[in-house]
Amino acid sequence: MAFGAEELRVLRRALALALHPGTASAEDVQDCFRLADSVDEALDEAARLRAFLLADLGRYRAALPGTAAGYLALLQEALGAGHRPAPDDLAALRALRGNPVAAALLAHCQGLVEQSVRARFAAGAPTVPAPAAPPSRARLLALPGGA
């Protein structure tokens, strides 16, 4: 996210106000609110762009192998925007691994997935409990009279 000169000036004043809150004028407060609105708007736009990119990636993935070049470019762009490869992405890359770009992307994505799994375990992600041992079976006894 890039800030213009005016936004940087307001951000600097906002930081100064955070250190010395008693010196805020009404104009400073309004500028801070406008800056917060601008940042919120930029975040919303980034979320919309990311959603569009992921939807487009899904469409290209569904049309594989005919759209391999476009899919690989979109996947690289999505990874650059913070997308973590999904199982569908890995399956598509495995199907395209004859393509050198796809093979390199597959190796990169597998590394990202491994990092993600390690991070979840390091953060104490809940683990799947081990299945309970089946209760011991009672011995079957023959009933008198052969019934």
Asked if residue 90 is part of any domain, the answer here is yes
Q: Is residue 37 part of a domain?
A: yes
> pLDDT at position 104, please?
93
The count of structural domains within the chain is 1
Residue 32 neighbours by CB under 8 Å, 6+ apart? 10, 13, 14, 17
Residue 77 located in a structural domain: yes
The answer to whether residue 101 is domain-embedded is yes
Residue 32, domain member (yes or no)? yes
The pLDDT profile of the chain, 147 residues, written as one tens digit per residue, is 566 777 777 888 888 777 777 777 888 778 888 888 888 888 888 889 889 998 998 888 888 888 888 889 999 999 988 889 989 999 999 999 889 999 999 999 999 999 988 988 888 756 555 555 455 555 545 556 654
pLDDT (0 to 100) of residue 110: 94
Q: Give the pLDDT of residue 133.
A: 47
Q: Which domain holds residue 36?
A: 7-122
Considering only CA atoms, which of 34, 98, 88, 96 is closest in space to residue 65? 96
Distance from C-alpha of 52 to C-alpha of 54, rounded to nearest angstrom:
5
What pLDDT was estimated at residue 121? 87
pLDDT for the residue numbered 100:
92
Q: Is residue 80 part of a domain?
A: yes
Largest CA-CA distance found in the chain, in angstroms, rounded: 99
Give the pLDDT confidence score for residue 142 in this predicted structure: 54
pTM confidence score:
0.57
CA-based radius of gyration for the chain? 28
Query: Quick check: is 133 in a domain?
Result: no
In a domain, 68, yes or no: yes
